[in-house]
Amino acid sequence: PTQKAHIVKLLQHHTGKRTCAIGDGGNDVSMIQAADCGIGIEGKEGKQASLAADFSITQFKHIGRLLVVHGRNSYKRSAALGQFVMHRGLIISTMQAVFSSVFYFASVPLYQGFLMVGYATIYTMFPVFSLVLDQDVKPEMALLYPELYKDLTKGRSLSFKTFLIWVLISIYQGGILMYGALLLFESEFVHVVAISFTALILTELLMVALTIRTWHWLMIVAEIFSLCCYVASLAFLNEYFDVAFITTVTFLWKVSAITIVSCLPLYILKYLKRKFSPPNYSKLTS
């Protein structure tokens, strides 16, 4: 058994690659634990291998589905979720930076109290985390075209390029939301908070909707629930918003205009990219 583990360590040392070990018996436990990823098969020799492994399957033929379906979806969903969590934090940081620079770098927070708590939780949390249900192709298509799995080795879903793109998107949207609110507000500072924060929530919800490739009913529920929670909470946020102002047509068109300017260019770019340089999975679903 120890020789199997030594072989795994030898491959790790001389190739610098991550290793995967597959076993079905007690003599494979050391090998499975030595590998970066261990897969145990429940066999006649018991469940020792499956209990020691990271993943457990009942038959060897299930490895294909584990890799090309569950593994691929897990990678893409984790990448999307990580990028959106980063975007959610960076966009509001950009808005705070713009706000501070306009007011001579005064140490005054743009959003206080419940607004910050609500933004990080009930207003945006459910749609963002619903991305773990997204999938670009059906499991049957992923099994039929294992070539799609090769795209994962190129790291296109989560790379320095995608990180930089999301940083630029966050800076662009944060700047548009803040400068737009400052340009459109009339007299009272509380109107800036109401316009910019409402546009921020709508932008986050729209960005999630634009990112989703296959809609699940829970995604729709998450979007509607978050929006309803925000609209319902406006009646209790007298400390932060002017309730009389947020019920006017002026407030609605200003929020709509800022939100459209922040999201429409990104939608157009996404449409053009999908039209002229579509990813491999879209060729199968179109």
Domains with residue ranges and CATH for the chain: 1-59 (3.40.50.1000), 62-283 (no CATH)
For residues 99-124, average pLDDT: 87
Residues 6+ apart with CB under 8 A from 189: none
Res. 284: pLDDT tops 70 = no
Give residue-wise pLDDT tens across range 249-268: 988 999 999 999 999 999 99
pLDDT tens for 64-92 read: 899 999 988 998 899 889 999 999 999 99
Q: So what's the pLDDT on residue 285? A: 63
Evaluate if residue 224 carries a pLDDT over 90.
yes
- Of the pLDDT bands very low, low, confident and very high (cuts 50, 70, 90), residue 235 is confident
Which of 8-22, 30-44, 187-201 is predicted with the least confidence, judged by mean pLDDT?
187-201
pLDDT of 203 strictly over 90? yes
Q: What pLDDT, in 10s, does the model give residues 135-172?
A: 888 888 888 888 888 777 776 778 888 899 999 999 99
With 70 as the cut, is the pLDDT of residue 15 above it? yes
Contact 10, 18 (CB under 8 A): no
Residues 104-130: what's their mean pLDDT?
87
> Residue 10: pLDDT above 80?
yes
State the number of CA atoms in the 13 A half-sphere of 141 facing the CB: 13
pLDDT at 46: 78
Q: Is 81 left (phi over 0), alpha (psi -120 to 50) or beta?
A: alpha
Please compute the mean of the pLDDT values over residues 190-209 and round it to a whole number.
92
The DSSP bridge partners found for residue 259 are none
Residue 220's SS3 state is helix
Average pLDDT, the chain: 88
- Helices 160-184 and 249-276, axial angle in degrees (round to 10): 150
Confidence (pLDDT) at 218: 93
